[in-house]
Structure 1
Amino acid sequence: MRTALNLLVLLLLAGCSSSKQDSVEAINREIAEGNFTRATELIDSLVAEGQINETRQKDLLFTKDSLHRVKLDFNRTREEIVGWVEENRLFTPSDSLLDNWEQSKALEFRVLDGEKRYFRNAAPNIFRVDASARELSVASLPSSDVPRDALLTDAFNHKISSDTKGKYLLPEKSMKVRYTLTVNADAVPDGEILKVWLPFPRKDIDRQTNVELLATSQPDYILSDDKTAHTSLYMEQKAIEGEPSVFWTDFQFTSRGEWFDLSEIEVAPYDKNSTLFQTYTAERKPHIGFSQAVRELADSVTRNAETPVEILQAVYRYIAANYPWASALEYSTIANIPEYVIENRKGDCGQVALLLITMLRYKGIPARWQSGWMTHPGEVNLHDWAEVYFEGTGWVPVDISFGRGGPVPIGPGREFFMSGIDSYRLYINTGFSGEFFPEKRYPRSETIDFQRGEVESGQWNLYFDQWRYRMELTYR
Structure 2
Amino acid sequence: MTFQRPLAYILIVLIAATLLVAGCTMQATGSSPKAAADAARAQADTAFTAGNYHAAETLYALAQENYTAAGDTTDALSARDRGFVSVRMTIEFPYNKSAMAQAIADAYPAVPADRRAGWLNGSMIATMQSDGETWYYADNVGNMRYHNLDLMQNMTAAMNQTPLYDPLTHYAFAAVNATSGPYGGPVAWEGTEVLSVPRDQLPANGTLRLWFPQPIETGSQTNVTILSVEPAQYVKSETGTGADLGLAYLEIPLADVNGSFLNVTATFRFVQHDQRFVIDPAKVQPYNTTSPEYLKYTASGKNIVVTPAMKAKAQEIVGNETNPYLEAQKIYWYIMDTLPYSHAPHIWLDASGTPESVYVLDTGIGDCGSQSMYFAALCRSLGIPARSVGGYQLVPGSAGTHFWAEYYLEGYGWVPVDVTAAETADWSYNATADQRHQFKAYYFGGLDPYRYIIQKDVDIPLTPDPGNAVLFKMVVQSPKVVCDTCPDDVDLILQQYYTTTVNRA
Q: The TM-score by the shorter chain falls in which range?
A: 0.7 to 0.9
Q: Deviation of residue 54 (structure 1)?
A: 11
Preserved contact between residue 406 and residue 414 of structure 2 (Cα < 8 Å): yes
Distance 1:474 1:60 in 2: 43
Q: Deviation of residue 370 (structure 1)?
A: 1.5
Are 1:470 and 2:499 counterparts?
yes
**Cα distance change on mapping 1:136 and 1:178 into 2, 3 Å:** closer
Are 1:447 and 2:473 counterparts?
yes
1:100 to 115, 118, 134: 118
Q: Which residue of 1 aligns with 2:247?
A: 232
Distance 1:359 1:270 in 2: 17
Which runs of structure 2 are paired with 1:44-123 in the superposition (5 Å)? Answer: 62-76=81-95, 81-82=100-101, 84-91=103-110, 94=113, 100-113=118-131, 116-123=134-141
Are 1:429 and 2:455 counterparts?
yes
**Cα distance change on mapping 1:268 and 1:452 into 2, 3 Å:** same
2:48 to 28, 31, 51: 31
The alignment partner of 2:423 has SS state of: coil
Q: Which residue of 1 aligns with 2:424?
A: 405
Q: Which residue of 1 aligns with 2:298?
A: 281
1:170 to 173, 178, 184: 184
Q: Which residue of 2 aligns with 1:313?
A: 329
Are 1:223 and 2:238 counterparts?
yes
Preserved contact between residue 227 and residue 267 of structure 2 (Cα < 8 Å): yes
Distance 1:93 1:408 in 2: 32
Q: Mean alpha-carbon deviation: is it higher for 368-377 or for 26-35?
A: 26-35
Preserved contact between residue 88 and residue 139 of structure 1 (Cα < 8 Å): no
Provide the alpha-carbon RMSD of the alignment: 3.8
Q: Deviation of residue 455 (structure 1)?
A: 1.4
Q: Which residue of 2 aligns with 1:390?
A: 409
Q: Which residue of 1 aligns with 2:213?
A: 199
The alignment partner of 1:287 has SS state of: coil
Q: Which segments of structure 1 move beyond 6 Å, counting only runs of 4 or more? A: 22-26, 45-50, 53-60
What runs of 5+ residues in structure 2 fail to find an aligned partner? 1-38, 426-432
Q: Which residue of 2 aligns with 1:414?
A: 440
The alignment partner of 1:288 has SS state of: coil
Q: Mean alpha-carbon deviation: is it higher for 438-447 or for 428-437?
A: 438-447
**Cα distance change on mapping 1:264 and 1:297 into 2, 3 Å:** closer
Distance 1:386 1:56 in 2: 41
Which runs of structure 2 are paired with 1:120-135 in the superposition (5 Å)? Answer: 120-130=138-148, 134=150
**Cα distance change on mapping 1:200 and 1:339 into 2, 3 Å:** same
Amino acid at match of 2:380: R
Distance 1:266 1:313 in 2: 16
How many positions carry a matched residue from both structures?
A: 447
Preserved contact between residue 76 and residue 117 of structure 1 (Cα < 8 Å): yes
Distance 1:326 1:113 in 2: 26
Amino acid at match of 1:230: L
1:151 to 168, 171, 175: 168
Distance 1:276 1:136 in 2: 41
**Cα distance change on mapping 1:136 and 1:256 into 2, 3 Å:** closer
The alignment partner of 2:232 has SS state of: coil
CA deviations 1:323-367 (Å, max 9, x no partner) are 111112125235121121122211011111111111111111111
Amino acid at match of 1:218: P
Preserved contact between residue 370 and residue 387 of structure 1 (Cα < 8 Å): yes
Amino acid at match of 2:225: E
Distance 2:461 2:139 in 1: 30
Q: Which residue of 2 aligns with 1:358?
A: 377
Preserved contact between residue 159 and residue 171 of structure 1 (Cα < 8 Å): no
The alignment partner of 2:326 has SS state of: helix
Q: Deviation of residue 428 (structure 1)?
A: 0.7
Q: Which residue of 2 aligns with 1:258?
A: 275
CA deviations 1:269-318 (Å, max 9, x no partner) are 1122222222222222x323333331221111010422111100111110
The alignment partner of 2:91 has SS state of: helix
- The percent of aligned pairs where both chains have the same amino acid is 21
Which runs of structure 2 are paired with 1:340-351 in the superposition (5 Å)? Answer: 340-351=359-370
1:180 to 180, 194, 198: 194
Q: Mean alpha-carbon deviation: is it higher for 307-316 or for 169-178?
A: 169-178
Q: Normalising by structure 1, what TM-score?
A: 0.81
